[in-house]
Chains A and B, each alone.
Chain A
Amino acid sequence: MKKTILTIALAFIWISFAKAVDPAYEAAMQKQIKAMKSIPNLETSQQVTNGFIRISEAKNEEWLPLYYAAYNQIIAAFRFEVDKDQYFNQALDLITKANQIAPENSEITALHGFAIMGKLSVDPASRGQEMSPKAMQLFGKAINLDRENPRAVTLMAQMELGMAQFFGSGPEKACGMARMGLDLFKKEEAKITDSYILPTWGKENAEAVLKSCE
């Protein structure tokens, strides 16, 4: 009897150990996420991406470092004077890897759509036909995977706004979605603690969409 209890207790301890997050990993992630929030130039951006890639190399069962590395490359492509296709392609490679670790993940799926949106923006006239439905489809899938994901909703709102502008139709649909996104961001903010390392970005994007509704 004693033995059984001990075994169970040990098993519990083992499980709790296995489940407990690696503090070194968390610390490393927090450091990079903090650095990511204040990137002044391309060089720093590359440093941050490299940092995330290093974490992903050491901790190859985690999707989050790959996610952030991809996200940071997408942002760099939008912000800096670089070969945009190269950056978006690298982001897509990283997203593919993240997807293998965590398939059917709403955040990764939404980011995938974001990368496609980036590629589309390089040459909308000839890529729009193929890529805009692809991006929309990914955002739709991301929302279906997690209806609370504010980024999936916000990105879809951005896409809707772009298309409304292109076709000269009203932005009502985009605005509705952006408002929904903002509500979800509020909900998310309640969950955020100092050690929170899951994605939180995107509120500004939703606000930007809403600006065009006024």
Chain B
Amino acid sequence: MKTKAILFIYFLLLNGATFGQTVVSGKVLDEKGLGLPGVNVFIKGSYDGASSTIDGIFKFSTSEKDFQIMVFQFLGYKTKELAISLSENTLELPTIILTEEITEMNAVTISAGAMEASDESKSVILRPLDIVTTPSAMGDIMGAFQTLPGTSTVGNDGRLFVRGGDASEVGIYIDGMKVGNAYGTTAGNVPTRTRFNPNLFKGTFFSTGGYSAEYGQALSSALALNTKDLSIRSQGDLSLMTIGGGYSHTLANEKQSITASANYFNLGPYQGLIKQEIDFEAAPNGWDVELAAQKKLGKNGLLKVMARTESGGMSLWQPLPGTDRKVLVDLKNDYSYLQANWRTILKNDWTVFTGISYSKNLDNIAYDSLMVERSNELLHLKGTSIKDFTDQLSAKFGVEHFIHPFSETLVKEGWVRNYKDHESYLFTEWDFYLNKDLVFRGGLRAGTSSVSKENWLDPRFSVAYQLNEKGKLSFAAGSFHQLPIENFRVLNTNLQNSESNHLILNYLFSKEGFTFRAETFYKSYDQLVTFDGLPDNPEELKNEGSGFAKGIDFFFRDRQTFKNTDYWITYSFVDSKRSFNQFQNQVQPSFAPKHNLSIVVKHFIVPLKSQLGASFAYNDGYTFTNPNLDNSEMNSKTKSFQNLSLSWSYLPKPNLIIHLACTNVLGRDNVFGYTFSPKSNSQGIFESIPQGQVAPRFLFLGIFLTLSKDKTANNLNNL
């Protein structure tokens, strides 16, 4: 009897549930009023729900009762909740409008001046791997960037020159920390390289103008290199090259990793086999030791530490124009770099970063009997915090301090001149997304220097608008300050900042496997340093130079059309004139050729397990002053610069790479300028010596072996 009663009640309840079902229906639209298909519509805490159809319509029945919460969820849109009351048999909901969420993935980014090298970025300008696989780059970071728009190749210098600016106008940062003396010291037309191995970095951000208020002390360009996060596995990397060798060992687990490496190079044996144009007494040589460690701290924190020390040198006979005499130039360089940084995400959408970096560069240069010792130190302290107020508004705040001692000693005479600068900066930058297609960025950077006794303020502004799915337009403007180079400041500590203002308009078109970029710019220069005499002995240094640079550049990259082939073509036009250094009139600087062209092609041949690469660089020549022509400055131009480089990478096994590369295959005799004798000879002619290449070609052969439990590992990144 009892059981029967219970069953009866149960039956009733069950029935009640069935009869009490409510059919819920409605429509979900996007902001434009179009039906949104695939929206997950459901009652919170139950299994009842449905997906919207192609018109955004949904309909489902539920046995839930009374007050409930309806959830509307769709990837890329803000989730919406709605309180409903289920009492009738049907419930027709009012039209629901979902607003798109602005995320890093879908929001427009500012591309004026900016070129990002990362694997994630949708608009492919450069991939991290391209740095090591571009034939002309020879594994140097700067070599790869010289194939990008806005840059000029100056073959006897090796540094990065951007849009009519000299090489010192490019600020180089590692994890946001400024790197002092990022290039190796060099002498007498031997091009330099970046000290840092591309293998250290997971991505780079290269800006040719109009960049963020986070970066200062750079008139032309900011190059931000971001080091790798935790290593994925323990491995050893061995490299054997015609110019030296090295070994690097990594230990890794899920929480931390550490990589120690040591390298040695000496061009002596290579130069013994292949004749060089430069008369080396001792071929360039050097060693380096490096340690990089990463550690996860807490749930969202990451600590990175890097330490590096290196020593190198060279010695060469430099000819003097108009004589048979040669002068011995001997160079020894010691360099150390240390940095630590910590980044973490805190509650309430705050991201905090703190960092410290220190670099010390010591050059001992003997020019004939003159011996100079130069010491340059840079200590950089930095803290930034980012707050995401909403998905539309975020702000960045930062504070920086630099301690920068520099000294120059004439060793024999015992003369010392030096200065020690303290610079402090405050900056802030605000990003406002009106919607995911339109963003405004405003920034302000304030600085002060103890040596130049100067305070300054740099406002920056940019905007980007997504025209359609593939095209976008960006505009950037800003003011930039930079203190003169150390060699000048030590001669006149009253020298003030040089100034530049940028205006940039950029169009970027990108779709799967294809990128086109066009950018036009104008920049002004003021307060540039001018002096009397020649650069090796400047006098009366003043901030009286000025000038401009304007132009347009194009870039296009295609990885789609031809199978296993990737190529990019860059053309940059720069019209720049400035009065600077010894030039009293506005002239086209030697480092700013007008027409610059670069083509890079890479092709992978599967049956040969090989990647073939070719790169071609062209510019229309470098200006120089020819005293035999007339009295005017920069009255001549060298013949055009051309360089065709080829490379072949062979992967016989997953963990072994053989890399062969040759620059300037055609052996073109490129000239970068001329050195004239200071006095004319008996016929009244100033004799000259061309500033040429170290050798017509540079041939490189390297074998790279990775030792790891995981047999598929290779050290492709070490090329």
Contact = CB atoms under 8 A, between A and B. Distances in A.
Interface residues of B, number: 39
A53 B73 contact: yes
Nearest to B118: A126
A136 B37 CA distance: 36
Contacts of A58: 44-47
Contacts of B716: 129
B119 interface: yes
Contacts of B710: 133, 136-137
Interface in B495-544: none
A212 B79 CA distance: 46
Given A133-B233, A168-B606, A53 B713 contact: no
Given A43-B38, A163-B712, A167-B609, A126 B651 contact: no
B74 to A, nearest CB: 9
Contacts of B717: 129
Contact of A46 (B38, B42, B653): B38
A28 interface: yes
Given A136-B712, A168-B606, A55 B47 contact: yes
B45 A46 contact: no
Interface string A147-187: 00000000000000001001111000000000000000000
Interface of B: 37-40, 42, 44-51, 53-54, 71, 73, 75-76, 105, 119, 127-129, 232-233, 566, 604, 606-607, 609, 651, 653-654, 710, 712-713, 716-717
Interface string A128-140: 0110111011000
A54 B651 contact: no
Contacts of A127: 119
7 contacts: A43-B37, A50-B73, A54-B49, A57-B44, A86-B75, A167-B651, A167-B653
A50 B129 contact: no
Given A57-B71, A136-B712, 13 more contacts: A50-B39, A50-B73, A51-B49, A51-B51, A54-B47, A54-B48, A55-B47, A126-B129, A129-B716, A133-B232, A133-B713, A137-B710, A168-B607
Contact of B47 (A28, A43, A168, A169): A28
A109 B51 CA distance: 29
A155 to B, nearest CB: 15
B559 to A, nearest CB: 8
A134 B232 CA distance: 7
Interface of B is mostly: loop
Contacts of A167: 609, 651, 653-654
B565 to A, nearest CB: 11
Contacts of A24: 47
B229 to A, nearest CB: 10
Contact of A54 (B37, B42, B53, B653): B42
A123 interface: yes
B73 A129 contact: no
Given A53-B40, A126-B128, A132-B712, A86 B47 contact: no
Nearest to A173: B711
A85 B606 CA distance: 26
A166 B714 CA distance: 13
A57 B42 contact: yes
Classify chain A's interface size.
20 to 34
B119 A130 contact: yes
A166 B40 CA distance: 40
B685 to A, nearest CB: 55
A47 to B, nearest CB: 4
Contacts of A168: 606-607, 609
Nearest to B709: A140
Contact of A43 (B54, B75, B607): B54
Interface of A: 24-25, 28, 43, 46-47, 50-51, 53-55, 57-58, 85-86, 89-90, 123, 125-127, 129-130, 132-134, 136-137, 163, 166-169
B212 to A, nearest CB: 25
Contacts of B128: 126
A131 B710 CA distance: 13
Contacts, number: 83
A46 B232 contact: no
Contacts of B71: 57
Nearest to A129: B716
A46 B460 CA distance: 44
B47 A50 contact: no
A54 B64 CA distance: 15
Contacts of A55: 47
A133 B609 CA distance: 19
B653 A129 contact: no
B129 A54 contact: no
A43 B129 CA distance: 37
B424 to A, nearest CB: 38
A169 B656 CA distance: 13
Contacts of B47: 24-25, 28, 54-55, 58
A200 to B, nearest CB: 22
A25 B45 CA distance: 12
B717 to A, nearest CB: 7
Contact of A125 (B38, B44, B129): B129
Contacts of B46: 58
A137 B254 CA distance: 11
A133 B712 CA distance: 8
Contact of B119 (A89, A126, A134): A126
A125 to B, nearest CB: 7
A132 to B, nearest CB: 6
A136 B235 CA distance: 15
Contacts of B73: 50, 53
Nearest to B46: A58
A47 B51 contact: yes
Nearest to A86: B105
Contacts of B75: 86, 90
A89 B103 CA distance: 13
A20 B717 CA distance: 54
A90 B653 CA distance: 35
A81 to B, nearest CB: 11
Contacts of B76: 86
B609 A46 contact: no
A126 B609 CA distance: 16
A136 B609 CA distance: 22
Contacts of B42: 54, 57
Contacts of A53: 40, 73
Contacts of A47: 38, 50-51
A57 B609 CA distance: 49
A24 B37 CA distance: 27
A145 to B, nearest CB: 14
A37 B75 CA distance: 23
A167 B650 CA distance: 10
A205 B230 CA distance: 32
A137 B235 CA distance: 14
Contact of A163 (B129, B609, B654): B654
A126 B602 CA distance: 13
Contacts of A169: 653-654
Contacts of A130: 119, 232
Interface core residue of B50, B54, B712 (most chain A CB under 10 Å) = B712
* Pairs of residues from A and B, 6 with the lowest C-beta to C-beta distance, nearest first: A50-B40, A46-B38, A47-B51, A126-B127, A50-B51, A28-B47
Nearest to B42: A54
Given A50-B40, A130-B119, A130-B232, A89 B607 contact: no
A75 to B, nearest CB: 16
B129 to A, nearest CB: 5
Nearest to B607: A168
Contacts of B53: 43
A129 B717 CA distance: 9
B70 to A, nearest CB: 12
A89 B105 contact: yes
Contacts of A89: 105
A17 to B, nearest CB: 17
B49 A50 contact: yes
Contacts of B127: 126
